[in-house]
Structure 1
Amino acid sequence: MTTLSAIETRFFAFESDFVDSLRCIPMIVRYKLDTCRVKLQLSEWAKFNFDEKDFLAEMPCHTDREVEMYGDYVHELVWKYTSKVPSLLKTLDPAWVHTHVPAEVCEKAQEWKCPVISASQWMGLDVLERFALVKLSRSGHEGRNFPRAMAEFGLAVAC
C-alpha cells in the first residue's frame, strides 16, 4: 500500500480571484487529480455545483484507497454531467518531488525575470507549493500567476 504525504487543503492567495466561486480548478484539486491520474477539463469542472467542487478540494487523497475513491468520485461527477468518462493521464511526471529545481520552473522564472530558485529554496517549499510552480510553468496554464506564486512563497519580492 502506498501512502502519500498528507496535503493540507488550502488555497493560495494567487488563486483569490476565483477561489470564492471555484470557477477555476484550484491547485489543491489539480494535485489530487494528478495523484489519481484523472484529466479533468475546465468545461467538465464548470458543470459541477459549488458543493461538489468544495468536496473535491476537501476530500482526502493520500492512501491507495483514498486515491481510488477520489478518482471514482470524479468519474461519477463527470458521467453525471456529461455522460462521458474523463480522460486519464498517460504518465505522471511528478517533477515537484525531485530535489532539484525542474528545468521548466527555471525557464519560467527566467522568462518572468524572477530570481533563480536554489535547490535549498526548492526543498524548503512544501509539496503543494512545488506542485503549483511546476503547473504554472507548463504551457496551457495562466502564466501571470507564476510571479504571484513566487512572491507568495517568499522566493521573489516582485517579478
Structure 2
Amino acid sequence: MGLHEAPLLFQFEIASSEDLTYIPMSVRFNLDRFGLRISLAQWQMLPYEDRKLLARFPVEEDAQIEPNFDHALFEMLRTHANVEPEWFTPDAAPAWRETGAVPEGVLNQASLAGLAAPGIEQWAQLAPFKRYVLAKLSRKPEGNHDFLPAMREFGLAAAA
C-alpha cells in the first residue's frame, strides 16, 4: 500500500491539526511503530509540505507495507532542523492490540468524561488504528480534551 492522497486526520483532530501545527495521530502511530520520538518543536520546524507528506503514510501495523516513513523523517529533520529523532524500542505488546480487554487508561478516560466505557465487544470491533488512538489519548491520568470527541467519532458515545 502506498501513500494516501491526503493527510489522515480524524474529524476531532481537524481544529488542532488541519494546518498540521500539532502532530496528528497518524504520524504518532508511525513514530511509535518505528520506535522514533520527536518533539513538537522539531515537528514544527518541518515545512508544511513535509508534515503533510508524513501524515499521508499508511497506518497499518505491518512495517513492511511502507518502510520509508523513518527514512523520510530522518531526511526531513536533518535538512530542516539539523537534528535526528530519538530511538526507542517499541512496545512488543501494546494494550491497544489486545482485543480481549479494554485498557485501564481508556476505562479511566471514559470515567473522567462521564461516559460508559466501551465494552469488550465494541473494543474488539474497532479498527486497530482507532484502538491505538483511544489508548494514546488515554495514557495520562488526567482528562484529555480529544477523548470525548474521538469516542463520538468512533461511534462509542452519543453525539452532543
Q: TM-score range by the shorter chain?
A: 0.7 to 0.9
Q: Give the Å deviation of 1:150.
A: 0.8
Q: Which segments of 5 or more consecutive residues in structure 2 lack a partner in the other structure?
A: none
> TM-score with structure 1 length normalisation?
0.84
**Equivalent pairs, count:** 154
The CA deviation at 1:22 is: 0.7
Contact 1:147/1:158, CA 8 A, preserved across alignment: no
1:21 to 4, 19, 22: 19
Shift of 1:49: 1.1
After alignment, is 26-35 or 86-95 more displaced?
86-95
Unpaired runs of 5+ in structure 1? none
1:127 correspondence with 2:139: no
Contact 2:106/2:117, CA 8 A, preserved across alignment: no
Distance in 2, matches of 1:144 and 1:90, equals 28
Shift of 1:60: 4.1
CA 1:141–1:71: 2 relative to 1, 3 Å:
farther
Q: Does the 8 Å contact 1:75/1:86 carry over to 2?
A: yes
Superposed structure 1 runs of 4+ greater than 3 Å apart: 5-9, 60-63
Q: Which residue of 2 aligns with 1:117?
A: 118
TM-score (norm 2): 0.84
Q: Which residue of 2 aligns with 1:147?
A: 148
CA distance in 1, matches of 2:114, 2:86: 35
- Counterparts of 2:8 and 2:54, CA distance in 1: 12
Partner of 2:88 in structure 1? Answer: 89
SS of 1:24's equivalent in the other structure is coil
Distance of 1:33 and 1:140 partners within structure 2: 22
Report Cα offsets for 1:20-56 as digits up to 9, x if no partner.
2111111111111111111121111101111111111
Q: Distance in 1 between matches of 2:141 and 2:51?
A: 21
